[in-house]
Amino acid sequence: MNENWSFSDALGMNPQTKQQVVDTYFMEHRARLVDIAAYLDRVDRGQGDDPLDFRDVAFRRAVEILLDGQPQRARRVLELFSDHTSELPQSADGMKGAMGAVSLTDGGAA
Amino acid sequence: MKYIDPHIHMVSRTTDDYQRMAQAGCIAITEPAFWAGFDRSSAQGFYDYFRQLTEYEPKRAAQFGIQHFTWLCINPKEADDPGFAREVVSMIPDFLNSKEQLCGGNVLGIGEIGLNKNTKNELIILEEQIALAETFNQLVLVHTPHLEDKLKGTRLIMDALSASKIDPGRILIDHVEEHTVSEVLDRGFWAGMTLYPDTKVTPQRAADIIEMYGDERIWMNSAGDWGCSDPLAVPKARLEMRRRGHAPTTVDKVTFNNPQQFLSQSPNFLLT
């Protein structure tokens, strides 16, 4: 192994051809894609104003990553949903559990 | 085929699960101390839990030919009160020094320690438990935070560990995902992937990570517990890798040989 190699340099080993990947996983991920489409439709059909919820904003930004043509989509989506602040609260007292995303204007990746 | 599930919370699972795991080829599990879904009201509650992990659960597993090993600590979710946490941590050396442990008990190290909401209080207790592991020459199993807190928390944890004298090769950082795995491996730690239906990685993504980052210093586990989880997640991930055409030796490496290699650094990890 090259001494300058690091795990950041992904190996990219995949025993399957691109065609085999599509053959194996298309139906499964077609279903998940329809789930996402239906979820967005469900938000649209919900009563009241647009929620302006930070999770919804991050979600739609993440969807854009899927089609940007760049590699490491899963890593970049997870980074988008991550807290990038450096402050540490003293205590977790009163804090809720994990929410799955952060405000992109307040500690998010954007 | 045989496999090791190196992170599963069997106190939250039924005896039927032991049976199904044995039927699927599981020969050994390791069970870290964790949050029970509610906060315990006294240190005595932890004492009873530690006895369950070291005395009772190995017998339940043995009924199905599964060897049971464990890790002790106060988990980060209950470590936000430093006074309470210190009271719990002070009981751990008795379990490490017990006659049973000195004669080959089932405690492998300190775990799963780490952070939950990345607070200063949690970090203080994390550092004190790292020092405990260093003092008693114990392996370390690390819990990394959930979801949006994982990236920041994993980096804070690695910095705390790097400030100790513990060899990173004796530390496994669990619950890695695509955005944390490379930093964990680059810094010399072992990495664990937890196979959860929604909140961590699926068997498919675990196989992706193996393909992208290799099969060295990495394992996968079910972390089956009281929440939505699957005690048969490891054999399902094995099947996923075989379905893609990975060599049986690669599948065995990440689900048996690698856990065996890491865990065998503890003199208490003896497969029979």
Q: Is B95 in contact with B129 (CB distance < 8 Å)?
A: no
User: Do the chains contact at B212 and A95, CB–CB below 8 Å?
Assistant: no
Q: Which residue has the higher pLDDT, A1 or B114?
A: B114
Q: Between A6, A12, A92, which is nearest B122 by CB?
A: A92
Return the pLDDT at A50.
Answer: 81
Contact partners, residue B17, CB within 8 Å, separation at least 6: B10, B224, B231
- Residue B78's pLDDT band (boundaries 50, 70, 90)? very high
CA dist B230 and B216 (Å) reads 25
Give the model's pLDDT for residue A96.
67
Q: Please give the average per-residue pLDDT across B129-136, as a whole number.
A: 98
Q: How many percent of chain B have pLDDT more than 90?
A: 94
Contact status of B146 with chain A (Cβ, < 8 Å): yes
B119/A83 Cα distance (integer angstroms): 13
pLDDT of residue B227: 92
> Which ipTM did the prediction report?
0.92
Helix (H) or strand (E) holding B70: strand B67-72
Q: What is the pLDDT of residue B202?
A: 96
How is the beta sheet containing B139-143 ordered, strand by strand? B3-5, B26-32, B67-72, B107-114, B139-143, B171-173, B190-194, B218-221
Please give the residue of chain B at the shortest CA–CA distance from A18.
B244
Nearest CA in chain B to A104: B148
From residue B135, give the alpha-carbon distance in Å to each of A98, B93, B124, B131, B140.
33, 10, 17, 6, 12
Whether B252 contacts B89, CB under 8 Å:
no
Q: What is the pLDDT of residue B252?
A: 98
Residue B76 has pLDDT above 80, yes or no: yes
pLDDT of residue A3: 56
CATH topology classification for B3-263: TIM Barrel (3.20.20)
- Average pLDDT per 10 consecutive residues for chain A, totaling 110 residues: 57 86 96 97 92 92 97 97 96 87 74
Of the partner residues A78, A82, A90, the one whose CB lies closest to the CB of residue B152: A82
Q: Give the per-residue pLDDT at A1.
A: 44
pLDDT of B199 reads: 85
pLDDT of residue B256: 98
Does A91 lie at the interface with B, CB-CB under 8 angstroms? yes
Q: Write down the pLDDT at residue A97.
A: 84
**Chain A: nearest CA to B50, how far in angstroms?**
25
Q: Does A11 touch chain B (CB under 8 A)?
A: yes
Q: Residue ranges per domain, chain B? A: 3-263
Residue from B217, B203, B208 nearest B254 by CA:
B217
Helix (H, G, I), strand (E, B) or coil at B111: strand
Of the partner residues B149, B208, B243, the one whose CB lies closest to the CB of residue A83: B149
Is the pLDDT at B101 greater than 80? The verdict is no
Work out the pLDDT band at B212, boundaries 50, 70, 90: very high
B236 touches chain A (CB under 8 A): no
